[in-house]
Amino acid sequence: MAELEDPTVMPKLINFLSCLLQRVAESNDQNLSVHLQHHKISAFHGLTRPAISIQSYLDRIFKYANCSPCCFVVAYIYLDRFVQRQPSLPINSFNVHRLLITSVLVSAKFMDDTYYNNAYYAKVGGISTAEINFLEVDFLFGLGFHLNVTPNTFHSYYSYLQRQMLLLQPPLSSTSAKSELILTARALKPHFCFDEDEASHKKQQLAAV
């Protein structure tokens, strides 16, 4: 999509995606502690919360991965597919960083003609090559190897992101910001935005707003 090539667009998208994931992770952390929900421990789950923020981590990936801009939208689609297929593995503060680096790696391999190898992505993500190799395989199985993204699917997800970015553009009043954050968190838990049935994309998008 040509719009993503605009140098002013991607920083905004990266910032929004990081905020989105931060809210989802915090919401799921709270649900786990308040409602004592049992979340499955996976290979993506760290023993402690990483010291680096989601914003800084995604900025780092964006800076060093050098993948095409569309890869970040596709990575977002993959994360949505993953949490839909793996409802016992919601995104939280312990797994979001590993899920991010893995989703971008997989999207770059699928979308781009040239891309960095796993060892490079491991350095960007601050993990070992052996670990990212394992995470990649686990992520692919978690997706059921459903990697293809149709133009309609891409457009639906990107349009959703555009609308949400407009809704959350600062400045917002504290009341409207709070209500919108609640709406966004609900939209992303357990699904990021909508069911990926091609026939129901438009209907689901309208329901998500």
Q: Within a domain: residue 183? A: no
Q: Within a domain: residue 88? A: yes
pLDDT (0 to 100) of residue 67? 92
Encode pLDDT of 127-146 as tens digits. Answer: 999 999 999 999 999 999 99
Tokens of 83: 């949490």
96-111 and 129-142 helices cross at what angle (nearest 10)? 80
Compute CA distances 62 → 34, 36, 54, 70, 203, whole Å.
34, 35, 12, 11, 32
Q: Within a domain: residue 59? A: yes
Q: Within a domain: residue 174? A: no
Determine which of 90-99, 129-138, 157-166 has the lowest per-residue pLDDT on average: 157-166
Q: Which pTM value belongs to this model?
A: 0.77
Cβ neighbours of 61 (radius 10 Å): 23
Q: Within a domain: residue 76? A: yes
CA distance 78 to 172: 30
- pLDDT tier at 207 (50, 70, 90 boundaries)? very low
Q: Within a domain: residue 118? A: yes
CA distance 204 to 170: 26
pLDDT score of 71 more than 90? yes
Span 62-88, average pLDDT:
91
Encode pLDDT of 95-108 as tens digits. Answer: 899 999 999 999 99
For residues 105 and 207, the model is more confident at 105
CA distance 1 to 110: 16
For residues 207 and 121, the model is more confident at 121
CA distance 56 to 60: 6
Location of structure tokens 């949505």: 80
Determine which of 33-42, 43-52, 174-183, 192-201 has the lowest per-residue pLDDT on average: 174-183
Q: Within a domain: residue 2? A: no
pLDDT score of 174 more than 50? no
pLDDT score of 180 more than 60? no
- The residue range of the domain holding 159 is 14-31+40-168
Domain of 164: which CATH number?
Answer: 1.10.472.10
pLDDT (0 to 100) of residue 77? 95
pLDDT score of 154 more than 80? yes
How many domains in the chain? 1
